[in-house]
Structures are given as C-alpha cells and as structure tokens.
Amino acid sequence: MKIEALLGDITTQQVGAVVNAANSSLLGGGGVDGAIHRAAGPELLEECLQLRRTELPDGLPVGEAVPTAGYRLPARWIIHTVGPNAHRGQTDPGLLAACFTSSLQVAADLRVPTVAFPAVSAGAYGWSADTVARIGVDAVRTFAARQEVRDGQQVCGPTVTDVGEATLTEVRFVLFDEEVLAAFAAALG
C-alpha cells in the first residue's frame, strides 16, 4: 500500500473517500469538519441528521467511523471519525489509533482504492502533531500488513479468505501546515 503525506486541502482530493475529523454530533464544526461540511453542501448535513435520528441517536463514539456520501466533494465517500480530545482527558493512544483503523476498515468495506486522512485530533483536540503522525502512520502500516493479499488470498492470522484483489491501495495524509507535514514526513521515515 502506498502511504504519503502532503500539504493541501482535503476537500479537493481526488480520492475514493476522505476522512472527516468530526465531532460526535456529526453536525459540522470547526477546522476540517467545518470545511468538509461547507464543501460537501447541505445534503451532507441532512444525511448526518438522518444518521442521528436512526442509527446514532447518542452521536458517534470516539474511535469509531461511519460513512456518508461525498455529495459535492470530488470524493465519493466521507468517512466520519471522532478523535479523542486531550483537553477533555481523552489521552489514550488506543482511541486515536482506533480512529485510523476503523476509518480504514470502512474504506476497505466500501472498496475504495484511495483514502485521504487529516491529522485527526491534532490542533484543537490537543494532541501533538508528532504523536498523531506516529500513531496514524503506525495504524495505517499495521492495517496494511493485516490486509496483505497474496494471489487473491487475504491472510488475517490463521484465517485465509479468497477475496480477490485488494482495493485499498493508497492512503494520503493531507495536512494543513508545514509543521504537521514535517511530523508526518518524519513518521513515514
């Protein structure tokens, strides 16, 4: 799997899915969440409201992920995940790793070839760029290793399943400033 980090606007990425660093309400907010909601258009808010009325009446839990359509974005899908907020005492690295892993699993389930991630929980949620980069890159690499496909066989522990070709072939970390980009570049080695 190709993994890269670049400086850019996640809302303009030509990918199968973009990951939204959402709040648990799924109703939009600041930063990446607000930018994705504005770029996707009012239809996104309507779908998120429907999710809240039906499947997620208490909101999306930290570390989990749920897809919606991409609407006016170039991406077909938006995968919403709620990162842990260090300012609220949510400092478990496992919760942050779960954001990346659950989003990747949703992307694989949707059979998209490429997915773009922001720096989930960096900035307003109080996690350092270096920590987010290390955890995010490690989570992607671990997921890629677990989803290893050999001649149409998916090997996950002792189980081998005939799945055809793997569809998730590229992960992009699309970042908002040079400092965060440098942290991800260092984590990628």
Q: What pLDDT score does 155 carry? A: 53
Predicted local distance difference test score (pLDDT) of residue 156: 57
157 and 109 Cβ atoms separated by less than 8 Å: no
Residue 33 a catalytic site member: yes
The reported pTM is 0.91
pLDDT given at position 150: 42
107/20 Cα distance (integer angstroms)? 12
**pLDDT > 90 fraction of the chain, expressed in percent and rounded:** 87
Structure confidence at residue 93 (pLDDT): 98
Per-residue pLDDT at 14: 98
Confidence at 149, pLDDT banded by 50, 70, 90: low
Q: Average model confidence (pLDDT) for the chain?
A: 93
Identify the CATH assignment for 2-188 out of 3.50.50.60, 3.40.350.10, 1.20.120.80, 3.40.220.10.
Answer: 3.40.220.10
Residue 188's CB is within 10 A of a number of other CB atoms, namely 15
The number of beta carbons lying within 10 Å of the beta carbon of residue 147 is: 18
What tokens appear for 14 in the block?
A: 């030509």
Q: 102: closest CA among 90, 88, 115, 113?
A: 115
